[in-house]
Structure 1
Amino acid sequence: MSQVIPAQAHGGSSYRWELTPTGSTAQFRGLAAVSKDVAWVGGTAGTVLRTVDGGKHWQNVSPAGAEALQFRDVEAFDAKRAVALSIGNGEDSRVYRTADGGKSWTETFRNTDANAFYDCFAFNDDKHGLAMSDPVDGKFRIAATSDGGKSWKVQPTDGMPAALTGEFGFAASGTCLVAGPGRTAWFATGGGDRPRVFRTIDGGRHWKVSDSPMASGEAAGIFSLAFRNPLFGVAVGGDFEKPTEAVQAASITYDGGRTWKLVPADKAPKGYRSGSHFVPWSPSTVLAVGPSGSDVSVDGGRSWKQFYDGSFDSVECAGHGFQAGCWASGANGAVGRLMH
C-alpha cells in the first residue's frame, strides 16, 4: 500500500507526496521522470529501478556487475530508453545505457583519468547530452554525446573558464547540470569562496560564468538548478552538513544565468535543498526538496512554502496534460509521486 503524506501548500493548492513501495533500502539520488506513470531511479549498490504504473510496482533493472557503483543521475527518454551515471574517482565514473527497459545495459563511457569525478549529466533531447566532472588541471571537464548516450567524447577545455580554488560540483540530485532548448546548458558549483553558474549555448564547447549571491563553503554552494526557459531559472542549495539551516540558499535569474537575485531568508526554503524542478502544469510553480523537507513556490522562486517535512534528495517532473507528473526520491528506498 502506498502512503499519502498530505499538506497545504502556498496559494491554497494542496500538494502532497504519495510514497510508493520500492522494496529497496538504497539511497536514490538519481531520478528520471517520464510521465505520471513512468519513472526511473538510480542509487547506491548499483541499484536502478523502473515503474510503468505510477509507482504501484517497481522493477529492479539494475545493470549486472555494477553492485559496487553509486548511480547518482539517471536520464530517461521513455519507458524503454535510459542512461545512468555512476559517480566517483577515476573508473567509478561510468555511463550505462539501456534500450529495452533495463533488461540489458551497455557500458558506454568509463572515465580513465584518476583526477576526474563526474557529478551529473543532462540531455537537451534524445540525442544530445553533456556530463560534467569536477575540475581537472584547474578546469571543469565536459563529456558530450550526440547519439543518445551510445558514445561520449571528452571536450577540449579551451572554452572553459578556470575553476576557483576548492571549487567543485555536487553529485546530490543529478541537477547540478541541467540542459535547455537547442544546445544550452548550465551547471552550478560550490566549495570555493563563492558559488558560480556556468552556461553554454553551443553544446558545451564554450562557457561563460557568473558569480552567485548564495552562500558557499567546504560543504556549501548551489546544489540544484531548474530552468523554465532559456532566461528564467532558480537555484537552491545550502550546506549539506547543516541540513536544517538555510543561509543565502536560493536565488533567481531572469537573464539566462548571467545575473542572480538572492531570495530573502524569510521567503527562502528553511533548510538545505539538494533538488529542484518546475512543474509542467504551471509556468511559475517550482518544487525544491532536501533532507529536512519539500517546498513549493508558486511565484517563480521568489517565495517558498514548505509542504512536507520528510527527506528527499531529488525531484523531477515530466509529461504533458493528463500525463504530467512529478516524482521525488531519497534515502532508504523512498520514492514519492506528487499529488495535487
Structure 2
Amino acid sequence: MTGRRHRQPAGAVAAGVCGVALAALTVVPAQAHTPEHRAPHWALKDSGAPQTRFRGLAAVNRDTAWLAGTGGTVLRTTDGGASWRNVSPPGAADLQFRDVAAFDARRAVVLAIGEGEASRVYRTDDGGATWTESFRNTDQKAFYDCMAFFDRRHGLAMSDPVDGRFRMLSTADGGRTWRVLPGDGMPAALDGEAGFAASGQCLVTSGPKDAWLATGGGARARVLHSADRGLTWTATDTPVPAGDPARGVFALAFRDHAHGLAVGGDYRADQPSPRAAAVTRDGGRTWQPAATPPPAYRSGAAWLPHSRTAALAVGPTGTDVTTDGGRTWKSLDTGSYDTVDCTPDLSCWAAGEQGRVARLEN
C-alpha cells in the first residue's frame, strides 16, 4: 500500500466496466439492482499461487497490480489479472512479505516482516527482473509491520515499539536508502501495544506530510498522527475494542487530511468483533464508532476513488461497503480477503489467503 500515491492524468479517470461498477455501488441501493444493472462483485483472478497468502497489495490501475505474500512471493500483473508473473526477489523464500508500494508497472518496494534480520526492504526499478535490498534490520528488538509513501520519494516504515516507543524508518529517495528517525517525538507506547502486519495498512499517508499509525494489543486501540513526515506524533484513543493481543485497529484509510476510517476487531475466528469500525472527520483528533459496523473482524479498508462517502472494508469473512462515509456498513461479499486497494482510474483490487486476488466488476 502506498497511501495516495497514484498520479494519473485527468483523462485516465474513465468509465469502463469497473467504473460502472463503482458508480453503481455509490448510488444504487442493493435491492434496486436488476439483471441489467448487476451489483458490483469481486471477480476472482487466477494468481497461480494457491499456497500463498497475499497481505501486501499495491494497485497501480485497472491493468497493473502487485502482490506480496508468504514464501517471499511477489507477483505482478499488467493485463488486469489475466496473467501474473512471479517476480520474487532471489533468496527470499524464507521471508514473509506483508506490504508492497508500487509507483508504476516497473518501480516497487516490498517489506518483509519479522524479528531482527527477517525485517527487510527491497526495491525494483525494472518490473521485478532485479531487486536491491535497501534495508535489513539489525536490532533484535525491532519488528517492522507496514510502510507507506507520501510520493515517489518520501516514505515511512513502522516497527513495533523498541524501548517503549514505536520506531520509524524514513526514506527520501523512493526506498533506495532508509534511516531510523529520532524517537523523542513519539509518544510512549502502552503495555503490550503493537501494530498488526495484516494488510499493509497499519501505516497510511495522505498528502505531502500527514501519516497515521494504527495500534492494538494494549489497553486501548489508538491511532497516532504525524503532520511532519514522522518526526513528531500525537496519539488518540479509538472506540475499537482492545485489551488483548488479538484486538485493536488493523487498518486505516484516509481520503484526505481530515476524513479517515479505522477497521479491526479481534482476529480470532471464534471471537466476536463488536464496534469493529470507527470514523474521523478531523484528521484523527477524535474518533466516533460506526453506527452500524461490519459484522466481524476486518483487516483492510480503502476509499472508493473520487467518492467522498463510499469505501470498502475486507476481512476473512467478507467485504462490506459504506456509502455514508463510514457511519453504516453493509455486506457486499462473503469471500475471504485480507487487503484492498483502489486507484484513480476507478479500479479496486483485493487479495488474501490461498492465492486469492480479485478485481471489483459488475
Shift of 1:244: 7.0
Match of 2:233 in 1: 207
Match of 1:326 in 2: 348
The DSSP-based 3-state class of the residue aligned with 1:53 is: coil
Measured in 2, the distance between the counterparts of 1:59 and 1:135 equals 36
TM-superposition CA deviations, 1:183-208 (whole Å, max 9, x none): 11001100001100000011100001
Shift of 1:245: 2.8
Aligned counterparts, 1:171-320, within 5 A: 171-216=197-242, 217-242=244-269, 245-264=272-291, 267-319=292-344
The letter of the residue matching 1:238 is G
Q: Percent identity?
A: 56
Q: Does 1:29 align with 2:51?
A: no
TM-superposition CA deviations, 1:12-50 (whole Å, max 9, x none): 262200100011020000000100111000000000000
Match of 2:14 in 1: none
TM-superposition CA deviations, 1:206-250 (whole Å, max 9, x none): 001101111012200000000011000010000001377321210
Match of 2:29 in 1: 12
Summarize the Cα distance change of 1:229–1:58 in structure 2 as closer, same or farther, 3 Å threshold: same
Match of 1:107 in 2: 133
The letter of the residue matching 2:178 is W
Match of 1:71 in 2: 97
Match of 2:3 in 1: none
The letter of the residue matching 2:253 is A
Measured in 1, the distance between the counterparts of 2:253 and 2:198 equals 14
RMSD: 1.4
Shift of 1:9: 6.0
The letter of the residue matching 2:296 is G
Aligned counterparts, 1:123-142, within 5 A: 123-142=149-168
The letter of the residue matching 2:311 is V
Measured in 1, the distance between the counterparts of 2:46 and 2:142 equals 36
The letter of the residue matching 1:45 is G
Maintained 8 Å contact 1:9/1:307? no
TM-superposition CA deviations, 1:78-126 (whole Å, max 9, x none): 0000000000000000000000000000000001000000000000000
Gaps of 5+ in 2: 1-20, 31-38
Summarize the Cα distance change of 1:9–1:324 in structure 2 as closer, same or farther, 3 Å threshold: closer
- Structure 2-normalised TM-score? 0.89
The letter of the residue matching 2:359 is R
Measured in 2, the distance between the counterparts of 1:159 and 1:282 equals 34
Summarize the Cα distance change of 1:227–1:324 in structure 2 as closer, same or farther, 3 Å threshold: same
Maintained 8 Å contact 1:312/1:329? yes
Q: Does 1:39 align with 2:68?
A: no
Measured in 1, the distance between the counterparts of 2:250 and 2:153 equals 25
Match of 2:119 in 1: 93
Match of 1:3 in 2: none
Measured in 1, the distance between the counterparts of 2:155 and 2:208 equals 11
Maintained 8 Å contact 1:227/1:278? yes
Measured in 1, the distance between the counterparts of 2:269 and 2:241 equals 13
TM-superposition CA deviations, 1:151-189 (whole Å, max 9, x none): 000001000000000000000000000011011100110
The letter of the residue matching 2:262 is A
Measured in 1, the distance between the counterparts of 2:287 and 2:356 equals 33
Measured in 1, the distance between the counterparts of 2:309 and 2:274 equals 23
Summarize the Cα distance change of 1:45–1:336 in structure 2 as closer, same or farther, 3 Å threshold: same
The letter of the residue matching 2:82 is K
Summarize the Cα distance change of 1:44–1:243 in structure 2 as closer, same or farther, 3 Å threshold: farther
The size of the alignment, in residue pairs, is 329
